[in-house]
Every structure is written in C-alpha cells, then in structure tokens.
Amino acid sequence: MLLKGNGPKVLGVYLGHDLGACLLCDGQIAVMIEEERLTRFKHGYPNYVAGIWDQFAGKFGYFPWASVSYCLETAGLGIDDLDLMVLSDNNWAEAAAETIRSIIPIKDRSKVIFMTGLEKVVHHYHHALSSFMASPFSEAAVLVVDGAGNIGEDGFEAETGYLFENRSGKYREVFKNCYDPQHFPWNGLGWMYELVTLLLGFSNSKTLMPDSGKTMGLAAYGQASPEFKEPWIQYDGFELNFSGFHHWLKESGHDFGALFQKRGLAKQGKEISQYAKDLAFKVQAELETLMIHLAEELYQQTGARNLCLAGGVALNSVTNGLIAAKGPFEQIFIQPAANDAGQAIGLAYHGHLLLTSPSHFHTNSSINAYQERQTETKLDNDASKIKPIKHIYGGRQYSLDEIRQLLVKSELPFEELSNDTELTEDVANELANFRIIGWFQGGSEYGPRALGHRSILANPSSFETKPKLNARVKFREMFRPFAPSVLRERVNDVFELNQESPYMLLVAPVRTSWQERVPAITHVDGTARIQTVDAEVLPLFHRLISSFEQRSGIPLVLNTSFNLRGMPIVESPRDALQCFLYTDMDNLYLERFKIKRPDPSHLFPSLLPEWRMVAEQERETGQQVLTFCSSSSSQIIEIDATAELIPFFEMLDGNCSIATAYQYVKHNENVVTDLVKIVQSLVRQGAMQLRVGTLTFGLPTKSRKLDMIPKSG
C-alpha cells in the first residue's frame, strides 16, 4: 500500500496493556494493528515484559516495535515520513518520555509527542475521540466507562461523559467520576465488574487480565437470588456510591487474596455452582442498570440525539443492546476496539487535530516545536478531513504469491480455486455439510471480534455444532455462546433488531420462530450477539452467506474468532495455518487456496528440549500414565497411556511422522485419530512443536529480536 495525498500522517502508539499502533493519513485510518497479533501474546505482551529486551530492561516496559514497523511497512512509509508520532499510556510514559524518545530512530525528535494533558488525565478523552471521530455523527454525546483511566489529582478516571459538538474537535466534558486509588476495593463500574470476574476465576493465566466476556456469558445462566437481594450501587445523577458492593464483599469474605486464588468460584467443581451463576447475573444486572441510568442522565444534560460508547465496558454487548433498545438516543455507535486497543486510534485522531486545529487542544513544548515547523512547511491540513470509518479491516493484505510460497514450504496438498464465485460456492457447500471452516481473507480486523476476515465458520442449524466446535476447535467453556453473522437485509427477519450491528457489539433476542432453526447461535436466554453483513462493505462474506442461504434457507452463519483459546486472533497466513494444524477444523481457506485436514503422514511432532516424558504406573489402579514435565516451569501434563504409547512418543523426534510412529501401536482403527488429538493437545500446551515440510510451529517464547525496530530514513 503506497499512500498518496499531502495531508497529515500521524502514528498513534499506545503503551499500556492491549498496546498497538494506528496510522492515520489524511484523517482516515490507513493501518491499525494490535501488538498481540504480531507477538502472539494475548494483550500484547507476556507478564515478564521488564526484561524482554536486554537493551531496555530497567528503563521502561515493552514498546510496540512490531506494531510501529507493521504500520509503516504496510503503508510504504519511513518513520521520517511521519508528521507526528503521538504516544501515551496509563503509567510510565511521561516519566520515561526522554528515554523512549532517545531510542526512536527518527531524525526530528520533536515529532514525538507524549500526551499527558493539562491535568495528566487524557485516557478517557482518547477513548472518546476514538469512538466519536470513527462514528458517522456530526455531533454526539459520548459515554466512556472502563476499569481505570489516568490518575489525576482527584483519583483515577472510571466514568466520564462528553458532548462533541462538531468534527473539528469542539467538545465539553459533562461529568467525570474519579475514585481514590488508595482505597481497596476500588470504586467504579468497570472495576466492580472486573473484580467479580476475578472472583469467578476468569482471567488470562499469563497476564492475569480479567476475561469479562465470560462473566457476561455466564450471567444468562443465573437468576435473581436472595443472597444478592440488596443493591450494590446507589446513584444520584452522575454520582455513584459503591458502599453496598463493598459491604457485600466484606460480608462474603472476598478479600484481596481471593482475587488471585487458583480456583475461582466458577471453577470449584466439575459443574459451575448456582451461586457462581447468580453472582454473574447480579453483577451484570447492576452494570446494566447503571449504564442505562448514566446514558439517560447524559441525554438529559446534553439533549444529543446520538450516543457513542467507549472504554472496556463498551464491549459488554448485552448492555449495549439494552441501551440501544431502551435508551433515549436515536442512534448508538460503538467503536469496535472499544477497549484500550482503541487508545492508539484516539491518539492518532488527537495528533491530527493538533496539527489542524491546535487551539482546541492541550499543548506542550514538543507540540509548539511542531507548530513552528508547520508554519514553515505549510502542510495541507484540514480538520474536516477526519472521516468516519467505513470498515474496521486495518491490517495488510497478503498476496496470493505469499500464501502459495507458504503452502509449498508446508508440503501440504492444496487447491487453488479459480475465482471468488467458486470460492464462496465451495465454502457454502462445506458449511451445508456441517464442516468447520477456517476463513482467512483480506486485511485483519482491529478489536476483539472476528468480523469475516479472520473467522472460523460453521453451520448454525444443528444442536451438535456448538459442542463439536468446543471439543474440536475452540476448547472453551460450554456456557459461552457463539455469535451469528447475518445478511444485513435479513437481520430483522431473524432477530428483534431494527438497526445495523456491523461490529458484533449488540445483543438482541432471536425471534421465537427461529430459535430452534439456529440453535448453535442462540444463547440460553434466547439472545445472540449479532454482526450484520453489508454487501457494500463485505461483498465476499455477503456472497458466501447468500450462497449458504440458497442451500439451507438460513441467512446467517456461525462466526467465531480464528484463534485458540487464550491466544490472539490470527494475523498472518502462517498464524492461520498453525491454528488449523493445532485443531480439528475440516478445511482452511487462505484467500482462494483450500487446504483440507492433513493426513498424519504430513505431521512431524517433537518434544521441546526443556520437556521430558516420564512413564509411571498408578498404585491404586495400575493404570499407565505418561507425564510430561517442563524444566523451565512448573507445568506438568498427564495423559492416560498404554504400553504401546511409550515407543510412539519416543519415536516422535521431528523426523518421524505420526503415521510412521503409529504403525508400532497395535490398536483399533480409531487410534490414529486419537493419537493426532493427543499430539495436538501437547502442542497447544507448549510441550511439543510440529513440523510440516520445512515449517516448524510452536507456541511463542520469551525471546524477541530487535530486527523489528523501524530504520530511520
């Protein structure tokens, strides 16, 4: 992609969790990527970031070099072609500003600006910018709610309301709720939801980040309970009082240590207790009540017809659906990267506005230096050039030649389909036959949802689809729902939804007449999280769903993210091929290339050097057990074994295929499939790596090279 035009080229770089970069050119998002898509670590980095690169250890945390390089390379720019590079985070960016600026290989370092604001509270402002400027609105109220924003004199940001009056950046702050960071448990809607999520045991094991989407999914299985009868939050206007929540925590004995126990309330038995389900129901109900209340208050104070939502809480699609259905606003917009990944977008928008209408925004010495240079160069800047987003596919396009070369290296059989019509017809046939499909097309989406470019697709019409997906591909909890992608023109036929939902951020009821026709996407409460597919925005995906409807009479497909549980959505063809090999998807489509599930003769696994295999016999049962132990961590994996499995695994040295090794295992015909699944499980857990052809796949490691740093000039 070679960019044209003389307008501002601004790179927004966010340095907190969910870090990444966004390149804005002429007021339009040109490239957007989250660091996690490139490092393959969820939320962008592992929990040992302080020493990830020796050159920077002790100076500051992890800098998203991969995202910065990706944006520049995709756009065909050098780092010195930028007019502004705008950085921010929640913690250390200002203190480390000079250190960071000194190692960024840009000739004019005054182009590197750190956003802290007049009162060092800009996190929510950037959330608001990321949503309003991306929206189609010329004016709107904006409600920002997350766990914790910047810390200022009044405490940390938690809930903030704005009124944006035009697309030149004129705005006013309507309210801001800040809370004391020294007071634990913290106050705030986002923090309340995150704390309950941690109590339930839903968090990423590597980063300890709460997985709030699981709480939202579990809530539908709960009900109002006498144990949670008392309200947790009192409110008066915009002011919120969390004393009821604190009282419940104290009376229930859930202190700080309870947040980090190994087994949360939802993981203390084979079945999730009704108490845990009711707790999820309670926190979801409290959130819904207060979010609707804040939206109504914001409407009363502003009189705006349109509402934008931002912050991590705006990913709660159940609440969003209720605000859209019951709230006073005529239209609602949620930017798809509503969590902190969207900070990079807000920073880029802020930089553009600084260049084009600086009188509206905060200034510092770096900005003043740039403005002097701007006067000399007379750049063609116009704030009105900030345009609403047309789509959210900010990643690079991988060419057919790149994909073909990858597949040749893999030595896997593949077929190249002749055109898009043959492609969509072929996939529709496979879906009609209830096969699970990996679908990789175009540039990647930004935000946490797969929206038709990096998706796993399935037929929604069978009750067996959901358990099959979980058992063979996603390996996740059964209470979590799967979502539909539906033709935009048919959405109201199937769902009680009268507006677009292009980013899968609205939940609405499935019409009663359709619930048994599409059980795989109907949640236990009769709802679904919906993506509407517009033929003008997503022509290929729309054609695929239309072809499927011709065969099935169903104008939607099940669409879940193309990733393994706990890992980021795939970015590259190699990532997609790896995920395909690690699971039991039936077919993978990389653009127009079709790859079927490979024969075991093509799979060459091997135990990683730091792992060893130990064969033991249980005293009580006499059952043979194979234990895989890691010398670099405390991780232990046990599998039930027979005597034949020991030589099987001993043969897997990376040069012996599964097909060759299983010849030594004298079992029934199903043993081959079982052994492939065991190997896939060990690979997914990091004990083994897998070679196909000349390609070797393993989980990401701590080591990172500095060759991702962009070169000056």
In this structure, the strands spanning 527-533 and 506-509 are antiparallel
Task: Give the pLDDT confidence score for residue 335 in this predicted structure.
Answer: 94
44-58, 199-213, 584-598: least confidently modelled range? 44-58
Instruction: Inform me whether the pLDDT recorded for 473 exceeds 50.
Output: yes
φ and ψ at residue 550, rounded to 5 degrees: -60, -30
**What does the pLDDT average to over 688-693?**
96
Better-predicted residue by pLDDT, 649 or 542: 542
Instruction: Inform me whether the pLDDT recorded for 712 exceeds 60.
Output: no
Q: Tell me the two tokens of residue 178.
A: 């800040």
Bridge partner residues of 627 (DSSP): 614, 638
**What does the pLDDT average to over 527-552?**
98
Instruction: Inform me whether the pLDDT recorded for 329 exceeds 50.
Output: yes
CA dihedral 55, 57, 61, 67 (to 10 degrees): 20
Task: Give the pLDDT confidence score for residue 626 in this predicted structure.
Answer: 86
Instruction: Inform me whether the pLDDT recorded for 325 exceeds 90.
Output: yes
Q: Where in the chain is the domain with CATH 3.90.930?
A: 600-697
- Domain 400-596 homologous superfamily, CATH: Carbamoyltransferase, C-terminal domain (3.90.870.20)
Better-predicted residue by pLDDT, 349 or 52: 349
Q: Tell me the two tokens of residue 500.
A: 């677009």
- Given pLDDT bands bounded at 50, 70 and 90, which one contains residue 358? low
Q: Where in the chain is the domain with CATH 3.90.870.20?
A: 400-596
Instruction: Inform me whether the pLDDT recorded for 51 exceeds 90.
Output: no
Task: Give the pLDDT confidence score for residue 171 in this predicted structure.
Answer: 94
Nearest to 348 by CA among 96, 641, 700, 30: 30
263-277, 283-297, 464-478: least confidently modelled range? 263-277
CA distance 347 to 16: 13
Instruction: Inform me whether the pLDDT recorded for 257 exceeds 70.
Output: no
Question: Could you tell me which CATH number the domain at 9-122+340-385 has?
Answer: 3.30.420.40
Nearest to 539 by CA among 700, 661, 420: 420
DSSP codes joined into one string, 23-44: EEETTEEEEEEEHHHHH--GGG
Fill in the amino acid letter for 442.
Answer: G
Q: Where in the chain is the domain with CATH 3.30.420.40?
A: 9-122+340-385, 135-334
CA distance 421 to 442: 16
Better-predicted residue by pLDDT, 375 or 74: 74
Rg of the chain (C-alpha set): 26
- Given pLDDT bands bounded at 50, 70 and 90, which one contains residue 49? very low
- Given pLDDT bands bounded at 50, 70 and 90, which one contains residue 57? very low
**What does the pLDDT average to over 249-264?**
74
**Mind listing the pLDDT tens digit for each residue in 391-424?**
999 999 999 999 999 999 999 999 999 999 999 9
CA distance 624 to 14: 51
Task: Give the pLDDT confidence score for residue 55 in this predicted structure.
Answer: 44
Task: Give the pLDDT confidence score for residue 95 in this predicted structure.
Answer: 63
- Given pLDDT bands bounded at 50, 70 and 90, which one contains residue 120? low
Residue 153 buriedness (CB in 10 A; 0-12 / 13-18 / 19+): exposed
Better-predicted residue by pLDDT, 16 or 426: 426
**Mind listing the pLDDT tens digit for each residue in 658-689?**
999 888 765 545 566 678 889 999 999 999 99
In the predicted model, what is the mean pLDDT of the chain? 88
**What does the pLDDT average to over 68-93?**
88
Percent of the chain's residues with pLDDT above 90: 68
Better-predicted residue by pLDDT, 682 or 616: 682
Within 379-509, strands assigned E span 415-416, 437-440, 454-458, 483-487, 506-509
CA distance 631 to 652: 19
Whether the link from the prior residue into 185 is cis, omega within 30° of 0, is: yes
Task: Give the pLDDT confidence score for residue 61 in this predicted structure.
Answer: 53
CA distance 499 to 526: 19
> Would you say how long the chain is, in residues?
713
Instruction: Inform me whether the pLDDT recorded for 23 exceeds 80.
Output: yes
Nearest to 258 by CA among 241, 244, 279: 279
Q: Which residues contact 566 (CB under 8 A, 6 or more apart)?
A: 42, 204, 205, 206
Q: How far is CA 197 from the centre of its chain?
A: 17
Q: Which of the following CATH numbers is that of domain 600-697: 3.40.1350, 1.10.287, 2.40.30, 3.90.930?
A: 3.90.930
Q: Which of the following CATH numbers is that of domain 135-334: 3.30.420.40, 3.40.50.10330, 3.40.50.300, 3.30.70.600?
A: 3.30.420.40
Task: Give the pLDDT confidence score for residue 54 in this predicted structure.
Answer: 44
Task: Give the pLDDT confidence score for residue 118 in this predicted structure.
Answer: 46
φ and ψ at residue 413, rounded to 5 degrees: -65, 140
Residue with tokens 């015909």: 669
Yes or no: say if 161 and 294 are a contact pair by the CB < 8 Å rule.
Answer: yes
CA distance 360 to 342: 22
Q: Tell me the two tokens of residue 194.
A: 């995150």
CA distance 173 to 238: 13
The DSSP secondary-structure symbol of 474 reads I
Instruction: Inform me whether the pLDDT recorded for 41 exceeds 90.
Output: no
Task: Give the pLDDT confidence score for residue 20 in this predicted structure.
Answer: 94
Task: Give the pLDDT confidence score for residue 531 in this predicted structure.
Answer: 98
Task: Give the pLDDT confidence score for residue 91 in this predicted structure.
Answer: 57
Task: Give the pLDDT confidence score for residue 590 in this predicted structure.
Answer: 98
CA distance 508 to 175: 30
Instruction: Inform me whether the pLDDT recorded for 205 exceeds 70.
Output: no
Task: Give the pLDDT confidence score for residue 199 in this predicted structure.
Answer: 93
Task: Give the pLDDT confidence score for residue 374 in this predicted structure.
Answer: 61
Task: Give the pLDDT confidence score for residue 356 in this predicted structure.
Answer: 84
Better-predicted residue by pLDDT, 563 or 376: 563
Task: Give the pLDDT confidence score for residue 372 in this predicted structure.
Answer: 65
Task: Give the pLDDT confidence score for residue 675 in this predicted structure.
Answer: 84
Q: What region does 188 belong to: left with phi over 0, alpha with psi -120 to 50, or beta? A: left
CA distance 264 to 710: 43
Fill in the amino acid letter for 664.
Answer: Y
231-245, 373-387, 515-529, 642-656: least confidently modelled range? 373-387
